[in-house]
Amino acid sequence: MIKAAVLGSPISHSLSPLLHNHAYSILGVKGDYSAIDVPEAALIPFLSESISENWTGFNMTMPLKERVFDSPLVLLDENATQIKSANTLIRRGDGYVGTSTDLTAFKRLLEPYSVDRVALIGGGGTARALLGALADRSTRVDVLLRTPKRLDLLSSIAPQAILAAIPMGSSLEGYDLVVNTTPAGVADHLASTLQSADGLFFESLYNPWPTELAFAWSQLGGKVLHGIDLLVEQALDAIHLIAEVDFDYAAMRSELLSVALSGINAHPQ
């Protein structure tokens, strides 16, 4: 029987248990997926204790995606190593394999779109997953950063692209793709500066939903992908890896998007 959970702090708002348990029901597999409040400082001891408790796997929110690199029980795969971030752990023997389903989700979601010139808001784990997904496609990425020293790490993930740190108040016009990866509220001030919305805007948050910036972009007629799209897309890979079951991604995506939207509407922010 599958025993899995999403870890983070705070974590009570997470829709992941709703999505994963619904998927288990559709797939006809026995399992339970919960949400556990695990602060950053508690992650390493939590993982050590989990080995004797027959956990199948975990998903993690920031900053655990970075903190997990300090655990001797976790073997990081190529994707996680590339972007220095892991959001999914799969039990293997007396340890875990860490990977990033954020990276694979970004790849699939952005495959249909032009991504030559990109504006990236933020420089954390989600930003690195985005860069990993676009490493071979984008030629220039302007990064709106509160901490410019993060640029060196970001540049190592996409060495073929020209990366430049620009102020957090910079214009978002003239890009094929604009992606916000910052915590709730950090990018809200940019909504009032928008004059046009020609490219694609990707908001990685789903709580709150929609964010002020995503709402402003859509009001100007721009195309928007929401955090709910990213949540569901990365969940597809996590479900596949944790349950070790093959399934039709298109059909499951439709099911989980519907469930996720119902979950958000049932608990409006």
Q: Name the CATH superfamily for 2-99+229-266.
A: Leucine Dehydrogenase, chain A, domain 1 (3.40.50.10860)
Classify the C-alpha dihedral 8-12-16-21 as positive or negative: positive
Q: How many CA atoms lie within 13 A of 105 on its CB side?
A: 30
Classify the C-alpha dihedral 17-20-23-27 as positive or negative: negative
Q: Is 211 helix (H, G, I), strand (E, B) or coil?
A: coil
Alpha-helical (H) ranges within 64-221 are 64-67, 78-83, 101-110, 125-134, 151-157, 212-219
Q: Which is nearest to 104 in space by CA: 234, 232, 235, 242?
A: 234
> 204, 126 in Cβ contact below 8 A?
yes
- Kindly state the tokens that stand for 152: 């060196």
Per-residue pLDDT of 114-146, as tens digits, reads: 999 999 999 988 999 999 999 999 999 999 998
Ranking 30-34, 35-39, 233-237, 264-268 by mean pLDDT, the lowest is 264-268
CA distance 256 to 233: 9
Please tell me the predicted confidence (pLDDT) of residue 266.
Answer: 64
Once rounded to an integer, what is the mean pLDDT over residues 54-79? 96
Please tell me the predicted confidence (pLDDT) of residue 171.
Answer: 94
Per-residue pLDDT of 146-180, as tens digits, reads: 877 789 889 999 999 999 999 999 999 999 999 99
Calculate the CA 156 to chain-centre distance: 19
Please tell me the predicted confidence (pLDDT) of residue 269.
Answer: 52
Please tell me the predicted confidence (pLDDT) of residue 149.
Answer: 79
* pLDDT more than 90, % of the chain: 88
**Which residues belong to CATH 3.40.50.10860 in the chain?**
2-99+229-266
CATH numeric code, 104-225: 3.40.50.720
Please tell me the predicted confidence (pLDDT) of residue 29.
Answer: 96
- On the question of pLDDT at 202 being above 90, the answer is yes
Please tell me the predicted confidence (pLDDT) of residue 267.
Answer: 57
Please tell me the predicted confidence (pLDDT) of residue 31.
Answer: 96
Please tell me the predicted confidence (pLDDT) of residue 115.
Answer: 97
- On the question of pLDDT at 268 being above 70, the answer is no
Mean confidence (pLDDT) of the chain = 94
